[in-house]
Structure 1
Amino acid sequence: MWVQRVIEPTGWEPLGVSVDWAAIEAELGVPLPEDYKQLYETFGGGVLSDSVYFLGRDEAVVFAFLAQWRVALSVDRDSSFAGTSAVDPYAIYAPGGKELVGWGSTAWADEYFWLVDAERSDDHPILARSHDGGAWDRYDMSTSEFLYRVLTDADFLPFGIARYNLGTLFEAGSGGPSGGRPL
């Protein structure tokens, strides 16, 4: 239901991307949310409203979900940063753990993650942090509901962008960055 609600205002024609979910989830060591899989298969990866980046599939690395996760994990585990994580007090998810997996961001550096727990693989609460790097906000809703509210609900503070009248156009990310880089 929520995936369709994200599609409607964008006017996007679903891509029907074929995805080897078993391979992706085997690398992560945990299943991904079902509605995210539908969003991924529908949109690939790209930019909504010229400002909300959605990670999925992309020929370039910019919007590629797994590539972005691998880079974030590598940086988060880099010993030269003396144990400091960019997602403090959390860490980037490593297989078998309980940490964050990024799936989206905005042009002004808001960040969207799932709190993934390998022992509770059917639970994917969203943790989001606004551009000021302040406190994390937790949302117990699906990825598509969160994304829909970001795009269409001006009162969904601090993340709702409808109040800025940016529209709801989706631009596929293949071929490189468009106006900025996610995460």
Structure 2
Amino acid sequence: MKGLHMWVQRILEFTGWEPSAHSVDWTAVEEEIQIPLPADFKELCEAFGGGTFCDSVAFLGSMEGSHFNLLLPWRAPLPIPVESGQYPEYTPGGKGYVTWASTEWGAEYCWLVDAQQPGTYPVLARGDAGEWCEYDMSTSEFLYRVLADKDFQPFGIARYGLDPTFQPGPEAHGG
């Protein structure tokens, strides 16, 4: 795992997590959802897998199983369309948001994805009030700021003094 993205490295240092080698067939994943995923998100997935940061941010970094799995929305169609306001939920080949993390307080962290503009991934964040905020930064920078930057409002959780931990999902070990 040499040459990690700077922000991925910072998250590893912040949490004290020893990167595990989660192998992911990215070609199959990206074919399934019909978009390439951000390189730093792939690094996060390979270093952490799916799990929970600071006991409160659920990271969807797994591509298998039923916990912390980024791909579940495409594999289990929702019976009722989700009303999301100004951004629709992404459907393969279209434009919309893809959720990659959420918090126990109801915040969602997503990308705004457009199949016609692969490689462009502004981060969208939505708090419990439902308003979307757009950030022009990488997935790993946004996640680091949420976890470690006390001044990152309104989504930062560092101000709560939570332990800088990572807890892998139940399928991370031999699942």
| TM-score, length-scaled by structure 2 | 0.90
Residue 168 (1) aligns with residue 164 (2): yes
Aligned mates of 2:75, 2:63 — CA distance in 1: 15
- Give runs of ≥4 in structure 1 deviating > 6 Å: none
The alpha carbon displacement at 1:64 in A equals 1.1
The alpha carbon displacement at 1:167 in A equals 1.7
Aligned mates of 2:65, 2:31 — CA distance in 1: 22
Aligned mates of 1:23, 1:94 — CA distance in 2: 17
Residues 1:146 and 1:24: Cα distance change in structure 2 (over 3 Å): same
Residues 1:60 and 1:158: Cα distance change in structure 2 (over 3 Å): same
Q: Per the alignment, in what secondary structure is the counterpart of residue 71 of structure 2?
A: helix
| Per-residue deviation, residues 132-172 of structure 1 (Å, max 9, x unmatched) | 22x10000100000000000111100101111000210000
Identify unmatched segments of 5+ residues in structure 2.
1-5
The alpha carbon displacement at 1:87 in A equals 2.2
Residues 1:96 and 1:58: Cα distance change in structure 2 (over 3 Å): closer
Residue 28 (1) aligns with residue 24 (2): no
Aligned mates of 2:83, 2:103 — CA distance in 1: 16
Identify unmatched segments of 5+ residues in structure 1.
177-183
Q: Per the alignment, in what secondary structure is the counterpart of residue 116 of structure 2?
A: helix
Q: Which amino acid aligns with 2:133?
A: D
Equivalent of residue 8 in structure 1, options 13, 37, 61: 13
| TM-score, length-scaled by structure 1 | 0.86
- Native 8 Å contact 1:62 1:68 kept in 2: no
Residues 1:33 and 1:149: Cα distance change in structure 2 (over 3 Å): same
- Native 8 Å contact 2:63 2:71 kept in 1: no
Aligned mates of 1:125, 1:59 — CA distance in 2: 25
Structure 1 match to 2:145: 149
- How much identity, in percent, do the aligned residues show? 54
- Native 8 Å contact 2:24 2:63 kept in 1: no
